[in-house]
Amino acid sequence: MSEVLLDIKGLKACVEGKEILHGVDLCIREGEVHAIMGPNGAGKSTLGAVLTGKPGYEVTEGSVLFRGQDLLSLSPEQRAWLGLFLSFQYPIEIPGVSLVNFMKAALASKRKAQGLPELSPAEFLKLLKEKMALVQMRPDLAKRDVNVGFSGGEKKRCEIFQMAMLEPVLSILDETDSGLDVDALKIVAGGVNTLRSPQNASIIITHYHKLLEYIVPDVVHVLKNGVIVKTAGRELVSQIEASGFEGIDG
Amino acid sequence: MDRELIYVLGRDECPSTFKLASGQRLKATLLAPRGVSGSFDICIELCGEGAELDLAGIYLCEGEQKVDFRINVRHLVGNCKSTQLFKGLADGKSRLSFDGLVYVAAGAQKTQALQENHSLLLSGDALVQSSPQLEIYADDVVCSHGSTIGSLSEEEQFYMRSRGIDEATARELQIRSFLSPVLERLGEEDLRFIL
């Protein structure tokens, strides 16, 4: 059987003193795509934030192992170096920092941490062009400040572009479909599918089935009120589509 | 005649008064590098029509450092233009004060004056005091001033770190982007000196 990448046990987490996750268990193996579905406010984005180490999220109980390491003791950048990636629901704008410099810094940090030599400027630009093309991003966006003035669709494509550049082992896509029209959705899904391999895995967080028509999950979880109430195969998506989250309880 | 001047605190002697005659243009940049305490006490008079002042400053305050800017820009005649942009950081237990006065004399019509001061507070023990002031005795002028004191955005920082950019580099990128409108004015030598 393929190796376990992520192993979450009894995870409880608070934001501003309020418990949002009440004990989440989740196991993800190499090559798998997991969908986490659930209504608004279920704790889906909190799970993504806790896994990537966002400040302000406090884990009160439970454990998370990522590739055998205690993920929760690591800084956000150390988690990225290990191969974790979060596609933000609301990508952040960074005025004054161009996308190309941002990616240069990110790649340089990661390669340094992995003991790899820095890419030459030519190698870097080749990679940048190739990965931008993957999500059909306009090349001029590379020179613009990170996400500043990008449309909603451009921001989401830019997230997948960054994911392609960093080649993560585990990608968490937080509501990547929100605010996307069908064409953009297809482009984003196409990018994600191209990056799928037997060695990596993804978590697709969504409250809507549309994206899962294009990125077909192996396992589907329903998260409600901070706990996973049901886990099944992809057939669960159509059940949710037909009857909503109301009728799903363990 | 155009002049472009750079004064570094602790390195260069900065005159206390500048007078700009008709049509004269002055571009000046004042730098307060890390660890150097002191003050810039400057009065710039625009005495002849068509004179232009482009003034900027950077301060990088840390530790026990104390830096004061006292800038007095005086529009004595009409049809002159002045812009001022001061940006910098206050870390450690440093103290930064910026007192900027733009004076527009009666009759100095068609004056254009802009003054901005923006600071990043990097430590809870640092102190920034900013008092931009306008004193205007003419009625046909375009004058504005602004001042902000903020801190590094935690959201930006988390976004960068989630991409694998280490904390120190993320801070450096944020600081560089904040200072870039003034850093752009410097040549390589001064840039290396200040950073």
How far apart are alpha carbons A111 and B158 in whole angstroms? 19
Confirm if B89 and B59 have CB atoms less than 8 A apart: yes
Is the model's pLDDT at B176 over the cut of 80? yes
What pLDDT is stored for residue A208 in this prediction?
A: 83
Of chain B, the percentage scoring pLDDT greater than 70 comes to 99
Is the model's pLDDT at B1 over the cut of 60? no
pLDDT confidence of A228, banded at 50, 70, 90? Answer: very high
Q: β-strand B112-121 against B81-90: which pairing, if any?
A: parallel
Q: Is A65 domain-assigned?
A: yes
Contact partners, residue A226, CB within 8 Å, separation at least 6: A19, A20, A21, A22, A23, A24, A42, A43, A46
User: Higher confidence at residue B187 or residue B94?
Assistant: B94
DSSP A115: T
A94–B163: do the CB atoms touch at under 8 Å? no
Is the model's pLDDT at A249 over the cut of 80? no
Q: Is A249 domain-assigned?
A: no
pLDDT confidence of A82, banded at 50, 70, 90? Answer: very high
Confirm if B73 and B98 have CB atoms less than 8 A apart: no
B164–A97: do the CB atoms touch at under 8 Å? no
Domain with A96 in it = 4-243
Q: How far is B73 from chain A (nearest CA, A)?
A: 29
pLDDT confidence of A247, banded at 50, 70, 90? Answer: confident
From B175, which residue of chain A is nearest by alpha-carbon distance? A96
**Main-chain phi, psi angles of B68, to 5 degrees:** -120, 135
| Average pLDDT along chain A | 94
In this complex, is the C-beta atom of B162 within 8 Å of any C-beta atom belonging to chain A? yes
A95–B180: do the CB atoms touch at under 8 Å? no
A96–B176: do the CB atoms touch at under 8 Å? yes
pLDDT confidence of B53, banded at 50, 70, 90? Answer: very high
| Average pLDDT along chain B | 95
A interface with B, Cβ–Cβ < 8 A, is 52-55, 75-77, 79-81, 85-86, 88, 91-92, 94-97, 101-103, 105-107, 109-110, 113, 162, 166
B159–A88: do the CB atoms touch at under 8 Å? yes
B163–A102: do the CB atoms touch at under 8 Å? yes
Angle at B164 between CA A26 and CA A28, to 5 degrees: 15
Q: How far is B104 from chain A (nearest CA, A)?
A: 34
In chain A, how many domains are there?
A: 1
pLDDT tens readout for residues A22-62: 999 999 999 999 999 999 889 999 999 999 999 999 999 99
**Interface A-B: count of C-beta contacts within 8 A:** 72
ipTM, interface predicted TM-score of the complex:
0.95
**Main-chain phi, psi angles of A167, to 5 degrees:** 45, 60
Which amino acid would we find at residue B68?
D
How far apart are alpha carbons A72 and A53 in whole angstroms? 7
B159–A92: do the CB atoms touch at under 8 Å? yes
Q: Is A248 domain-assigned?
A: no
B178–A54: do the CB atoms touch at under 8 Å? no
Of chain A, the percentage scoring pLDDT greater than 70 comes to 99
B156 contacts in chain A (CB < 8 Å): 92, 94
A76–B154: do the CB atoms touch at under 8 Å? no
Q: For the purposes of burial, counting CB atoms within 10 Å of the CB of A244, is it exposed (0-12), middle (13-18) or buried (19 or more)?
A: exposed
Contact partners, residue A233, CB within 8 Å, separation at least 6: A218, A219, A220
From A159, which residue of chain B is nearest by alpha-carbon distance? B163
Is the model's pLDDT at B105 over the cut of 60? yes
pLDDT confidence of B130, banded at 50, 70, 90? Answer: very high
Q: Could you count the other beta carbons within 10 Å of the beta carbon of residue A66? A: 22
What pLDDT is stored for residue A245 in this prediction?
A: 87
Confirm if B94 and B88 have CB atoms less than 8 A apart: no
pLDDT confidence of A250, banded at 50, 70, 90? Answer: low
Question: Measured in Å, how far apart are chain A's first and last C-alpha atoms?
Answer: 26
Is the model's pLDDT at A204 over the cut of 70? yes
Q: What is the CATH number of the domain that holds A29?
A: 3.40.50.300
Token pair for B155: 């959201």
How far apart are alpha carbons A208 and A224 in whole angstroms? 14
- The three-state secondary structure class of B194 is helix
Range in A216-220, A234-238, B127-131 the model is least confident about: A234-238
Q: For the purposes of burial, counting CB atoms within 10 Å of the CB of A233, is it exposed (0-12), middle (13-18) or buried (19 or more)?
A: exposed
How far apart are alpha carbons A176 and A182 in whole angstroms? 12
What pLDDT is stored for residue B189 in this prediction?
A: 85
What pLDDT is stored for residue A184 in this prediction?
A: 87
Residue written as token pair 């062009």: A129
A54–B166: do the CB atoms touch at under 8 Å? no
How far apart are alpha carbons A189 and A129 in whole angstroms? 19
In this complex, is the C-beta atom of B139 within 8 Å of any C-beta atom belonging to chain A? no
From A97, which residue of chain B is nearest by alpha-carbon distance? B177
Q: Could you count the other beta carbons within 10 Å of the beta carbon of residue A241? A: 13
Of chain A, the percentage scoring pLDDT greater than 90 comes to 86
B156–A92: do the CB atoms touch at under 8 Å? yes
pTM for the model stands at 0.87
pLDDT confidence of B107, banded at 50, 70, 90? Answer: very high
pLDDT confidence of A21, banded at 50, 70, 90? Answer: very high
Q: What is the mean pLDDT of residues A3-16?
A: 96
In this complex, is the C-beta atom of B161 within 8 Å of any C-beta atom belonging to chain A? yes
What pLDDT is stored for residue A241 in this prediction?
A: 87
